[in-house]
Structure 1
Amino acid sequence: KLLHRGRLCANLNSSRSSAILVGSAKLLWWVHLAWALIGFVRIYLVFERKPREARLLQDLVVGAIYVGMLLSILAFVFGAPVGTLIATSGVFAIVLGLALQNTLSDVFSGIALTLGRPYVLGDWIVLSDGTEGRVVETNWRSTHLLTLAHNVVALPNSFLAKLGLTNVSSPEESHGLSVTIRLAPTKMPAIVADVMNAALQSSNTILREPPPVVAIKALDATAIEVDLFFRVANVGQRIPATNEIFDLVYRHSKSAGLRLATPPSSSILMNDLPNEETANLPEVTPIKLINAIPVFSALTDNEKEALAATVTVRTYRKGDIIARQGEMLPSLMIVRTGIIVRERGEDDAHPQEIGHLAPGHFFGETGLLAGIGETSTLRATSHVVVYEIDQQSFAPLLLDRPEMAEDLAAVLSARMSLGGSRTGQEHTESKFALLKAMQTIFHPAPFRRVSSAGRPGLQEGR
């Protein structure tokens, strides 16, 4: 009996060991089969040029493979009743689904957004509630936006799927903008449109293609309302471009004698509003232009008036070259009306535009202050009137007001770095180098008057 019991125990232990060995082999077989299927999915299940959709579909198929592997192991390795387990798990899934309703909603919304592709990483989107930012991350549950304030906003995918959104980065990065200007009806609408178009053409920020558009929106006894449409290279240029357009509109309106209209809610009587017959149009005199330029703010009223008395008026026709690249101008030139384009390039037939000068801008300071030739060719793109201040009139003020010399050196340094990549330290070093050059020119010897004979343009007198 003892021998029989020993044999039974040995057979039982041997059967258990064999069952464990067979079960482990089956378990490893199912696991390796799942891994092999997952490998095939990762390699062959791809969408051409659609990595996000491919990754999403791969994750869904891989998840289904893992679930199938788990059920197969329970049924064929452990002999569990899979049907009963599925029926029982269905009740558990309902309870779990109700508890995770919001999370599951975010997951399925994320799947829908990924397949629909309304945006990709790096796109700038604007939601219907006003939220806007650049997409920096998307996952199963949420989408992260980097706002203009450099804050990251995490939006649940279910919330994002319910809102309307505008993708301003699609189909291209350039972004369209518009501003509305109201001007007093003191001149014909055609003249107003020409002045607004000149303001757009003198911009250094907006795109040239497609060309900006001026549209007269409304006309009544109180105002001429004009819409300006233009495009910028990307969303980040919206604020700088809008600020520049408003500044240029103000400059050109003042130069052309246009007045801004009163707000629609103003209580001014109709009889008090200016019209084409009664308007007292402002005249842009040299003293008014000098007062409007921040560089001359250090001068006293008497010094400004004395400087304005020395001004000479010069005019240029459209297409005239005011100064070529490398040519040294002996005077400071202040733009009164018109647009001047800055160009670079050895070939006159294909010059590269690098900037524009509008009314109130000045040039010629490189030759007047530092004895340096112009860094670009200056060409008149319309009828241009400039006020000229020569070195003999300007130099004593520059020596008496060193703060003005510093401001001019900063402007000159920025002008010389136009079109290049200069760091802040290099800009500062350039500013001090220019100050030293100005001291070298002005201090050692008495000022000499440089003749303006032979200069292009028509001199009209002081």
Structure 2
Amino acid sequence: MLDLLVSPLFQIVALGLAGIVVWHLQGRSRPTARLLVQIAFFAAMTAILFANGISPLKFEPLREGGAMLIAAKTLWWVHLAWASIGFVRIYIVLDGKPREARVLQDLIIAAVYLAVTLSVLAFVFDFAIGTLLATSGVLAIILGLALQSTLNDLFSGLALTLGRPYTIGDWIILADGTEGRVAESTWRSTHILTPANNVAVLPNSFLAKIGLTNVNRPDESHLLVLPLRVKAVHPPSFVVEKMRQAMIGANNITHDPAPAVALKGIDAFAMDIELQFRVRHPSDRIPARNELIDLVYRQCMETGISLALPAASSVFIENIHTDHSLPDPLRELLQDNPIFADLEQDELHKLEVSARLRRYRPGDTFFEGADSASGLLIVRSGAVSVLSDGKEVLRLAPGAIFGQIDGVPLATKYQALTVLEAYEIDGPTLASLFKDHPEIQNNVTRHLSGLTGNGLATGSSREEHVSILRTVRGLLGK
């Protein structure tokens, strides 16, 4: 028994097994302590081996106690592998790129395990590694041909991981039109959550070949273009300015940088223009485009700009340069607004007669001060900024209604962003209308409450709503 305890091979095996136990007791949360344990036990095992003339780097014929020799050498190679892996896990780090660092670590660890496995076969069991490698090479060729598609996806996934054209959560647009947010990325495929709320699974080899646009870089805002073709009955500078004014009133686009109008071409019948604007997020594209189309339509109706047929259309055009008589704008503005949509024609006529068309310059403010007269303004052309505590909360475009009523916080005011034309309906005219249509009174109250509350018509505080309603009723003498 004593001879067994003093045997170097037994000591190596005992150290190896003890090192494994201590290594597990350290836990994953203490990688540095694990590495020190691995190095200490590996150094002790190495010292015993070489002190007794046992080399783990060459095969020794088995003799009595051969099983103990195999166990000792195998444990030595295992501890060498674990010490190397512990070093890799701690010190192979790419600053700011944890995913790439983990991939690199996994590749190095796989190489360490492969090298240790071949070393054990060669130096412990005396396998002919050359023959094994030659045989495995033939097998690798056969497997490579059979798994060509899978391996292509695998290495493409590695290239995409290291190149980082996108990360989880990015919104990407592929050259074939597929778009969505990256939900998951594996070694073989990438999962994209599309706007239709479906998951598109794309092989990594496909993504590595096709061009893609990452909308999230440098941020999610990106440029959109709305093409237009208008009849050449106005100077181009006039059309550019009116389209610019229409875009200034949009709320679903960004205004820094400012939207632009680009002239693309002109012929005898029409001019081609592009409205270039940016949105904050991909989800804003449809609302922004819808809003701009509505604003452009309103602006064209108010300014006499006519849309033209596509250049490919062949039609007979007569009197293209004759003057266009504009429709009565106030009546159409009132009819298009849900608040006044149910009024009879004679009631609309009364409002038209009493309303006055006002013109303002950029920077002019409305309803400043507690003594401002009550009334409503309906934007005919131009854009208005709604300011609360000095910050812009909303932009108003043609057709929008705003006004001042006692009780509205003084921090809220309206400012013209462009040359502005607006119809003014005074308090007495509104009072007469509200007597016959109390539902319009409630709708106006809710509308103004939404504008002055938070700019998004999502509801104001109960106290402000009650104060505004009390003031409107005061106009009626109630």
TM-score (norm 2): 0.78
Select between 395-404 and 127-136 the one with higher mean Cα deviation.
395-404
Structure 1 residue matching 2:285: 3-state secondary structure: helix
Q: Secondary structure at the match of 2:107?
A: helix
Q: Is the 8 A contact 2:405 2:471 kept in 1?
A: no
- Of the structure 1 ranges 184-193 and 259-268, higher mean CA displacement relative to structure 2 is found in 259-268
Give aligned-pair identity as a percent: 44
Q: What does residue 128 of structure 2 align with?
A: 81
- Corresponding residue number in structure 1 for 2:137: 90
Pair 1:20-2:39 in alignment: no
Query: In structure 2, do the counterparts of structure 1 residues 243 and 329 end up closer, same or farther at CA, with 3 Å as the change threshold?
Result: farther
1:244 maps to 291
Inter-partner Cα distance in structure 2 for 1:329 and 1:61: 78
Report the Cα distance in structure 2 between the residues aligned to 1:327 and 1:251, rounded to whole angstroms: 33
Query: C-alpha distance in 2, partners of 1:302/1:192?
Result: 35
Shift of 1:61: 0.8
Residue 38 of structure 2: aligned partner = none
Aligned partners of 2:170 and 2:214 also within 8 Å: yes
Structure 1 unpaired stretches of 5+ = 1-14, 346-350, 450-462
For the structure 1 residues 102 and 407, does the alpha-carbon distance in structure 2 shift closer, same or farther, using more than 3 Å as the test? farther
The normalised TM-score by structure 1 is 0.81
Q: CA deviation at 1:53?
A: 2.4
Instruction: Choose from 261, 264, 282 the match for 2:326.
Output: 282
Q: 2:365 aligns with which of 296, 302, 321?
A: 321
Aligned residues of 1:215 and 1:226 also touching (Cα < 8 A): yes
Check whether the contact 2:168–2:182 (CA below 8 A) recurs between aligned residues. Answer: yes
Distance 1:73 1:405, change over 3 A: farther
- Asked if residue 306 in structure 1 is aligned to residue 350 in structure 2, the reply is yes
Please say if residues 351 and 429 of structure 2, whose CA atoms lie closer than 8 Å, have aligned partners that are also in contact: yes
Relative to structure 1, the CA distance from residue 334 to residue 301 in structure 2 (aligned partners, 3 Å threshold; closer, same or farther) is: same
Partner of 2:35: none
SS at match of 1:264: coil
Where structure 2 has 5 or more consecutive residues not aligned to the other structure, the ranges are 1-61
Question: 2:174 aligns to what?
Answer: 127
What is the CA–CA distance in structure 2 between the aligned matches of 1:446 and 1:108, rounded to whole Å? 75
Deviates more, 1:30-39 or 1:411-420: 411-420
Q: Distance in 2 between matches of 1:218 and 1:88?
A: 69
CA distance, structure 2, for counterparts of residue 46 and residue 315 of structure 1: 65
Matches within 5 A, 1:319-398: 319-324=363-368, 330-345=374-389, 351-364=390-403, 367=405, 371-373=407-409, 376-398=412-434
Letter paired with 1:293 = N
Q: Distance in 2 between matches of 1:326 and 1:102?
A: 75
- What pairs with 1:29-428 in structure 2 (closer than 5 Å)? 29-271=76-318, 274-275=320-321, 278-324=322-368, 330-345=374-389, 351-364=390-403, 367=405, 371-373=407-409, 376-398=412-434, 400-401=436-437, 403-405=439-441, 407-418=443-454, 427=459
RMSD: 2.9
- Greater mean deviation of Cα atoms: 253-262 or 399-408: 399-408
What is the rounded CA distance, in whole Å, between the counterparts of 1:310 and 1:419 in structure 2? 28
**Cα deviation, residue 88, structure 1:** 2.0
Q: Is the 8 A contact 1:328 1:374 kept in 2?
A: no
Cα deviation for residue 105 of structure 1 reads 0.6
Question: Take 2:265 and 2:178, find their aligned partners in 1: how far apart are those partners?
Answer: 31
- Please tell me the residue identity of whatever aligns with 1:173: E
* Secondary structure of the corresponding residue to residue 114 of structure 1: helix
| 1:259-295 C-alpha deviation (Å, 9 max, x unpaired) | 22234354531225x32xx132314442222122222
Higher relative contact order (CA 8 A, sep 6+): 1
Name the stretch that deviates more: 392-401 or 77-86.
Answer: 392-401
Partners of 2:471 and 2:393 lie apart in 1 by 29
After superposition, what is the alpha-carbon deviation per residue over 1:44-88, rounded to whole angstroms, capped at 9, x for unaligned?
A: 112222323222211111111111122122223333332222222
- Contact 2:243–2:261 at 8 Å: present in 1 too? yes
SS in 1 for 2:224: strand
Count of paired positions: 417
- Whole-Å separation in 1 of the counterparts to 2:336 and 2:245: 20
Say if 1:367 and 1:373, in contact at 8 Å, map to a contact too.
Answer: no
Cα 1:446–1:44 change in 2 (3 A) is: closer
Q: What secondary structure does 2:358 align onto?
A: strand
